Amino acid sequence: MAYCRSMPGDWVNITTETPVGGVIVTPSRRLRVPGKIAWLAVTPFAAWAVWRLGGLERGSFPAQIMTATPYAAAGSLLPVLLSVLSRKKAVTAVALAATAVLGATVLPRAFGDAPTAQAASGVPFTVMTSNLFFGRGDARTVVDLVRRHRPDVLNTQELTPAAVEDLDAAGLKELMPYRYLQDEWSAAGSGIFSSHPITRLDGLFQVIGHNMPAVKITLAGGAQVEIVDVHTLPPLGRQVTQWTEGLRALPPGPSSGPFRILAGDFNASLDHAEMRDLVARGYRDAGDTVGGGLTPTWPANKKLPPLITIDHVLADRRVSVLGYHVYTVPRTDHRTVVTELSLPAAR
C-alpha cells in the first residue's frame, strides 16, 4: 500500500500487490574431515591388520601388544567413519580393508563351529584348568567347581605345596585321588589331578618353561587320553625366546592312538602366530570351537575386568567340544576354564 499526491492538498490511496516468488536456499554445511587426518587415523589400523594377517610379531613388546587385536578390530570402525567423511576414495578403501581383515581374524571366535553328529554319541570327558597364582587361588572355590562339574582331569599351574594341602583339606583328595604333582614354591609348580587312575608320561616332549607334567588315562570303556599341563613362560623381555620355543616344543595332535589334550596357561592368545601354528598341528581350541574364544581369562580380580584370553584347552581334532565355561576364582589373576568334550566311541 502506498500514498501519492495528485493535486495540491489531495492524497490518493493506491494499492499495489507485488508478488514474491522463488525459494530461499540456505547452503548446507556438510561435515568434511581433512584427508590428512583420515590417513593419520587409518594408518595404524592398516599396519596392525597386515601385522596380524602375516603373523609378523617379533620380540617381546609386539607379542604383548598383539593380544589386543580384538580391541583393535572394534576400534578400526572409527577410522572407517573418518575416511568416509573425508570423501577420499583411497583412504576409505584402505580403512574398509583393514576393518575387514581384523574382523575376519576375530569374529569367528564369537560364533564357533557347527556341532558334529559324533558329539552326541561319544564318551563324555571334562577338563578343568586353573592357574592358582603362586598357590593363592581360593581352594574352596576350586573344589566347589570340581563338585559342580565333576571333571575327569584338573590341571593346575603355579601350584605350591601349601596349595596342595589347601585343596585336599577342601575335599579334592576324595574327589580326585589320582595325581601327578610337580609343585614348587614358585610360579613353576604344576600338577594334574584325576578321578581316574593315571600313568606318568615322561619324555613326551621337551619341556621349555615352567613344569609341565603329562599323564595317560585309560577310561572304563578302554579309551586312552594323554593330558599335558601347559604353562609356558610369558613373552616378557628376554623370555620371549623361551616362550616361542616352549610353544613350538609342545607335542602335536595325533591322528591315531590315544587322544591328546593340552590344557593350561599358554601365555598366548589366538592372535599370536605361534599359538595358531600350535593349533594347526592337529588341535582345535575349545573356546574358539563353541563361540567362547573371546571370553577373557586374564587378569582377574583386578580393578579392571579381564582383558585377554591366554588360558586354553586344546583337544586333538578327533575330539568334539560340547561346552566351555569360564569362572572367576578369588585371589588368583587367572580365571578357571572348564571344557566338556566328547571322545569318539570305540567301534
pLDDT, tens only, 296-341: 999 999 999 999 999 999 999 999 999 999 999 999 999 999 999 9
Question: How confident is the model over 30-43, as pLDDT tens digits?
Answer: 789 899 999 999 99
pLDDT of 150 over the 70 cut: yes
- What is the reported pLDDT for 3? 47
Task: For the chain, give the mean pLDDT.
Answer: 92
- What is the reported pLDDT for 30? 73
- Superfamily holding 118-343: Endonuclease/exonuclease/phosphatase (3.60.10.10)
Q: Determine phi and psi for 187, rounding to 5 degrees.
A: -70, -15
Domain boundaries, the chain: 35-109, 118-343
Question: How confident is the model over 105-131, as pLDDT tens digits?
Answer: 999 999 988 766 566 678 999 999 999
SS3 per residue for 127-176: EEEEECCCCCCCHHHHHHHHHHHCCCEEEEECCCHHHHHHHHHCCHHHHC
pLDDT of 10 over the 70 cut: no
Question: How confident is the model over 43-79, as pLDDT tens digits?
Answer: 999 999 999 999 999 999 999 999 999 999 999 999 9
Task: Give the closest residue to 86 by CA, choosing from 161, 134, 32.
Answer: 32
What is the per-residue burial (b if ≥16 Cβ within 10 Å, else e) of 274-304? bbeebbeebbbbbbbbbebbbbbbbbbbeee
Q: Which of the two residues, 202 and 13, has the higher pLDDT score?
A: 202
Q: How confident is the model at residue 22 (pLDDT cuts 50, 70, 90)?
A: low
- What is the reported pLDDT for 43? 97
* The residue type at 323: G
User: Average pLDDT, stretch 247-257?
Assistant: 97
**DSSP label at 346?**
P
What the block records as the C-alpha cell of 281 is: 598341528
